[in-house]
Amino acid sequence: MTTRDPRAPQLARLAALLADETRAACLLALLDGRAWTAGELARHAGVAASTLSEHLGKLVAGGMLAEERQGRHRYVRLADARIAQLVEDLTAQVAPAGALPPQNLRESSAGSAMARGRTCYDHLAGRLGIAVTDALTARGLLVQDTGFALTGAGLDWFAGAGIALDRAGRRPLARACLDWTERRPHLAGVAGAALCRHALDARWCERIGSERAVRVTATGERALGELLGIDGAALR
């Protein structure tokens, strides 16, 4: 008699949570790394607030979202980086086959902006993320031989750039994340998150629109050119 794998029920519950278009839309929206109100997510998903509230309750109970309340407002965000990685990895697998062509100029512009540069939960993705990853690798600061790893020179580079790396937790220092538009891995993990946070705080990048898209500023072009030798034209 075969003993059932004890992980089977948990996997089934996770699959059930993901097997709904409204909940999937919420998870994808929250990949921007920010907290959203229930009302914002309801408008984004195109459903009534009461319907969305029921879905959020399931995602919170299932451990995929964390909930915070501030006054009368209820905010939700992805529970942690592991959930973001799961959603992004699944997106990378289905995006080529499931992607729909843009229906209008607005959708086309938004899609182009996302492909050029975006946040992937808490790190940089799109052509911008790939350009940074390639530059770090070319300079011997990051190796990709058997997974991503920062070199000693890479650790020195982060310190010299004033980018602190929090190594207290169990999250990997550097991790490869498959980019669903470029079909190549970009830098994630503690180092990827720290670099993205610094880029936004130092105004190297700025968010555009209500989606995850970001663009590199003139300040960012100069900084990335000086620190990593990235051609500004490749960032536009």
Q: CA angle 100-101-102, nearest 5°?
A: 115
Compute the Cα dihedral for 188, 191, 194, 199 and give only its sign: negative
Is the pLDDT score of 59 beyond 60?
A: yes
Pair of tokens at residue 150: 């920062």
Residue pLDDT, tens place only, 62-75: 999 999 888 777 89
Assigned CATH for 8-79: 1.10.10.10
Bigger pLDDT: 171 vs 197: 197
Cα 61 from Cα 208, distance rounded (Å): 32
Three-state DSSP class for residue 43: helix
Residue pLDDT, tens place only, 131-189: 999 999 999 999 998 889 999 999 999 999 999 998 888 889 999 998 888 888 999 99
Q: What is the pLDDT of residue 100?
A: 45
Task: Pick the most confident of 53-62, 89-98, 163-172.
Answer: 53-62
User: Where would I find the H helices in the chain?
Assistant: 8-18, 21-29, 38-45, 49-61, 81-98, 105-116, 126-138, 152-160, 189-201, 218-228
The amino acid sitting at 6 is P
| Helices (runs of H) and strands (runs of E) counted in the chain | 10, 11
Q: Are strands 149-150 and 175-178 parallel, antiparallel or unpaired?
A: unpaired
Cα 124 from Cα 120, distance rounded (Å): 6
Bigger pLDDT: 204 vs 106: 204
Domain ranges of the chain: 8-79, 83-235
Contact between 186 and 137 (Cβ < 8 Å)? no
- Cα 152 from chain centroid? 26
- The closest of 222, 87, 192 to 231, measured between CA atoms, is 222
Fill in the DSSP letter of residue 36: E
Pair of tokens at residue 169: 């937790």
Residue keyed to tokens 């070199």: 151
